[in-house]
Amino acid sequence: MTTTTDLTTDHSRAVADGAHTHGVGAKPQGSRAERLTSFSLDDIPVPTGREEEWRFSPVARIQPLFDGGLGTAGADGSGVRVTVDAAPEVKVETVGRDDARLGRAGKPGDRTGVTAWNAFQQATVVTVPAEAVASDVTSVRFDGEQAGAATPSAAHVLVRAERHAEAVVVIDHAGVATLNQTVEIDVADGAQLTVVSVQDWADGAVHTSSHRARLGRDAKLKHVVVTFGGDVVRITPDAEFTAEGGEVEMVGLYFADADQHQEHRLFVDHAVPRCKSRVTYKGALQGSGAHTVWVGDVLIQADAEGTDTYELNRNLVLTDGARADSVPNLEIETGEIDGAGHASATGRFDDEQLFYLMARGIPETDARRLVVRGFFAELIQEIGVESVEERLIASIEAELEKSMSVITGVATPAGGADEAE
């Protein structure tokens, strides 16, 4: 039913050739610069599933979140509890939708983005005051309760790092919910902010989230997405540079099991000169019907001289019946850049690695674990938030633990009984 072909693209030094875009059997796609963005429900209709930005998505399962009249997550009866645990230097507020600070980081670019914007009544605003250095991680938790699992709701979070502020904010998602979310990230001049979003949902959760980041002069953002749980998770992080010297590092890690859909669509908009972006996403897939989608759009506008960008996606397909789509797109409108490149590779588990490790006496299950851990190891170290790194390692172990029966079932040759240890 599903086939996996090992595929790679590597354009370490791409140039402005006017048509630099790739896909796996992709239809030609319009320029990202021309994609309509709007705050109005009327401008962005309910998708059919044939649109470029929805063609990999299970739109039927996301349908409840296309409705403009969603309730507010965290409100009574929403079935979602929102808890904030802030560092002492960090200020947390709950504000109405008319707060002037909201809606400044870009505009919605797809249907769930625009419904999330129009539905929320209250927003959580996390502010790191100017020149403050947060002494601890600030945590924002979304806990879905079983009772309200099927009730679709909308949530809005704004994380603001004022001028020269420094902080780490971790947004967690657990339990079960049907949640449409916006995470706005405003990184002012000279600020350094890390935002981590962890999707550790239970089975049954459906979660869409538009992350929209705006970077000021010399601002640095590390944006980390970790997706393990939930039936359908679709995250669309956008980053926009508004002044020179900005730097964004986007790191993603996902692990899809049977029948999970995990989609990450990124867009980095180099609108101004001398900014830098790095995108590194890695995913593993196991089990029938596991589906991951990674789309990385980078636009280097005509004025963005001195841009330095590189994006990379790697997928490790552990079993038959899983599917990874990986589409890097790079549009370059100026030749005066420092560097632009992308690479994408989707491969099966490497049997030669397995043979090498087993030829050293290591039993097959342990050998597979070593390889998968190794696949994620460098990426985890890049996150730079110790508590998150530790949890991640534990989550990967748990994924491998529950999957070992699946994996050995596929790989053990007939009669090759595995009585190791």
Partner 1 sequence: MSTLEIRDLHVSVETKEGPKPILRGVDLTIESGQTHAIMGPNGSGKSTLASALAGHPKYQVTSGTVTLDGEDVLAMTVDERARAGLFLAMQYPVEVPGVSVANFLRTAKTAIDGEAPKLRTWGREVKDAMSNLRIDSAFSERSVNEGFSGGEKKRHEILQMELFKPQIAILDETDSGLDVDALRVVSEGVNRAKENTDVGVLLITHYTRILRYIKPDFVHVFVDGRIAEEGGPELAERLEDEGYDKYVGTAAPAAV
Separation of alpha carbons 103 and 93, rounded Å? 16
Of 43, 85, 203, 378, the one binding partner 1 (CB under 8 A) is: 378
371 touches partner 1 by CB under 8 A: yes
43 touches partner 1 by CB under 8 A: no
The 3-state DSSP class for residue 293 equals strand
Of 376, 396, 399, 407, the one binding partner 1 (CB under 8 A) is: 376
Of 1, 60, 360, 409, the one binding partner 1 (CB under 8 A) is: 360
Of 352, 386, 409, 414, the one binding partner 1 (CB under 8 A) is: 352
* CB 392, min distance to partner 1, A: 14
Contact 411, 364 (CB under 8 A): yes
* CB 345, min distance to partner 1, A: 12
Main-chain phi, psi angles of 391, to 5 degrees: -60, -40
Of 75, 363, 393, 395, the one binding partner 1 (CB under 8 A) is: 363
Contact 243, 274 (CB under 8 A): no
361 touches partner 1 by CB under 8 A: yes
Q: Give whichever of 275 and 284 is closer to partner 1, judged by the CB atom.
A: 284
* CB 342, min distance to partner 1, A: 19
Of 359, 386, 409, 414, the one binding partner 1 (CB under 8 A) is: 359
Which of 227, 177, 179 is closest to 205 using CA atoms? 177
Of 375, 392, 400, 407, the one binding partner 1 (CB under 8 A) is: 375
* CB 203, min distance to partner 1, A: 29
The 3-state DSSP class for residue 144 equals strand
Separation of alpha carbons 308 and 277, rounded Å? 6
Q: Give whichever of 27 and 360 is closer to partner 1, judged by the CB atom.
A: 360
Q: What tokens appear for 96 in the block?
A: 């109405």
Q: Give whichever of 92 and 362 is closer to partner 1, judged by the CB atom.
A: 362
Contact 162, 189 (CB under 8 A): no
Separation of alpha carbons 216 and 309, rounded Å? 17
* CB 369, min distance to partner 1, A: 10
The 3-state DSSP class for residue 398 equals helix
Q: Give whichever of 111 and 369 is closer to partner 1, judged by the CB atom.
A: 369
Kindly give the interhelix angle for 351-358 and 364-383, rounded to the nearest 10 degrees.
110
Q: Give me the residue label for tokens 């560092």.
A: 87
Amino acid type, 131: E
409 touches partner 1 by CB under 8 A: no
Site residues (CB under 8 A) for partner 1? 350-353, 355-364, 366-367, 370-371, 373-378, 413, 416, 418, 420
